[in-house]
Amino acid sequence: MLNSLLSFLINLVIGILGIGLIVFLHELGHFFAARLFNIDVETLSFGMGPVIFSHDGKHTTYCISLLPFGGYCRIKGSVELTKALKDKQNEFTHTEKGSFFGTTPFIRFLIFLAGPITNFIISVLLFTSVYAISTQVISNPALVLKITDYPSLYSSTFEQTTLLTGNEILTLEGKEITDWESLTSILANSDGATLKALVKRGKDTFETTLSPTENNGHYSFGLALYQSPIVGRIDSVTELKVNDKILAVDGITINNTNDFYSHVLDKEVVTLTVLRKDKQQEITIKGGTSFDFAWKSNYKTQKGMSFIPALVKGFNKALNVSKTTVEALYNIISAKAKTEEVRNTLTGPTRAAQSIGMITMLGAKSSLLIGFRAFIYLLAIVSISICVANLLPIPNFDGGQMLINLYSIVRKKDLTPKGYVILQLSGLVCTILILLFMYGLDFKHYFMH
């Protein structure tokens, strides 16, 4: 219990720091845009809450605050707003040099636009780094398993009649198959075509054809990964150890991971015969579908792309993620998404942070490079999410502020100070409601799931 809580907190802190960094970089975009147009920034802070460190610059006080939940950029102008409200003015008539309200609506529009643009650029750079970094990727042998051999695990009755469980695919359409991952990539992109294959069975090889079956526009070849039942990772306290090979379940010999699952699926407790350092021993664990360990996989080094191809791929990835995020948000707002889809799409801040930390740490257990690559990939997605969310037409968000200034540009007249404050207060209410909703999702997931 204590280990699980500690693991949860470590994952949460990693996620919070990552998300906080992305939010701070968003604020940094506003900061640089303001300074570009000679608008003074009174305070730039990393983190929220009480200030634990500050440095007074020429135009700005730079701070590090106690809570690493993003940051804030306070642009000069609060004095003018307070004075205009106090004097019941209909416009900002007395603005100081370097004040936000002393510049044009177009410049204010650009300052607010700078935040989402910064997030998109960050996402492109992070995705570029993902593609440019050489890393270790899973590379299991292309050994296949017929899913019809395991009716308790798979509902499909379609099978490749010429294959047997444990066969290895050597080539498809004359192309060498290096591992299971390259095999599944070709099968997934077959578009229903029949593929010629060279297959190894024991010491013999033979040629055959693989034909798919169609189901709701998706094609399946009725194959799964044949994987040795060797423990590769331990996620919590258990009697099993890394590199343990499971030989039998309740005395029944098993040869692959699907053998294991088919024998533990409907049992509360099972006894495993385990080979550990050339010695057999018996271990009792809970049955079911969820376990505190993962199977051992092989890895290979995947060389990173050169900068320009990685940048192009990173840019295209950022565009695709942006499109997917906008579509998902539209479906949720327009109520087109089903309740289950909303639950799977939306996560609150706590769950999002914990998930980032968990995936990062799982990757780091294989290698630090895999963990780091997973971390920056997830932060790239977070950056897109923040970009899209901030473009919503809510007064406190960048999108709402941009609309306010577009309105001023079209009318050739600023909002009154009173009107500006009313919109800000309404935006604050909307923001609070959104936060309550998002944290409510977290509460439901952790305490009512």
Residue 260: pLDDT band (50, 70, 90) is: very high
Which CATH topology does 233-290 take? Pdz3 Domain (2.30.42)
Hey, what are 51's tokens?
């200030």
Residue 328: pLDDT band (50, 70, 90) is: confident
Question: How far is the C-alpha of 325 from the C-alpha of 342, rounded, in Å?
Answer: 12
pLDDT digits (tens, 9 = 90+) for 96-135: 788 888 888 999 999 999 999 999 999 999 999 999 998 8
If you average pLDDT over every residue of the chain, what do you get? Answer: 89
What pLDDT does 290 receive? 87
How buried is residue 214: exposed, middle or buried, by Cβ count under 10 Å (0-12/13-18/19+)? exposed
Please state the rounded mean pLDDT for residues 357-367.
86
pLDDT exceeds cutoff 70 at 286:
yes
Question: 297 CB contacts (<8 Å, ≥6 apart)?
Answer: 138, 139, 140, 227, 232
Question: How far is the C-alpha of 410 from the C-alpha of 75, rounded, in Å?
Answer: 24
Question: 193 CB contacts (<8 Å, ≥6 apart)?
Answer: 212
Which CATH topology does 140-225 take? Pdz3 Domain (2.30.42)
Hey, what are 330's tokens?
């539209």
What pLDDT does 310 receive? 96
- Tokens 């057999």, residue? 280
What pLDDT does 204 receive? 95
Please state the rounded mean pLDDT for residues 78-90.
72
Residue 67: pLDDT band (50, 70, 90) is: confident
Domain residue limits, the chain: 140-225, 233-290
Predicted TM-score (pTM) of this structure? 0.79
Question: How far is the C-alpha of 387 from the C-alpha of 25, rounded, in Å?
Answer: 11
pLDDT digits (tens, 9 = 90+) for 163-200: 999 999 999 999 999 999 999 999 988 888 999 999 99
Question: CATH topology of 140-225 equal to that of 233-290?
Answer: yes
What pLDDT does 396 receive? 86
pLDDT exceeds cutoff 60 at 338:
no
pLDDT digits (tens, 9 = 90+) for 346-360: 778 888 999 999 999
- Tokens 């439901």, residue? 444
- Give residue 169's Cα distance to chain centre: 33
Please state the rounded mean pLDDT for residues 361-388.
91
Give the alpha-carbon dihedral of 324, 326, 327, 330, to 10 degrees: 160
pLDDT exceeds cutoff 90 at 237:
no
pLDDT exceeds cutoff 60 at 340:
no
Note whether 169 and 183 are within 8 A (CB): yes
Beta strands in 27-159 (DSSP E): 41-56, 61-75, 135-138, 144-146
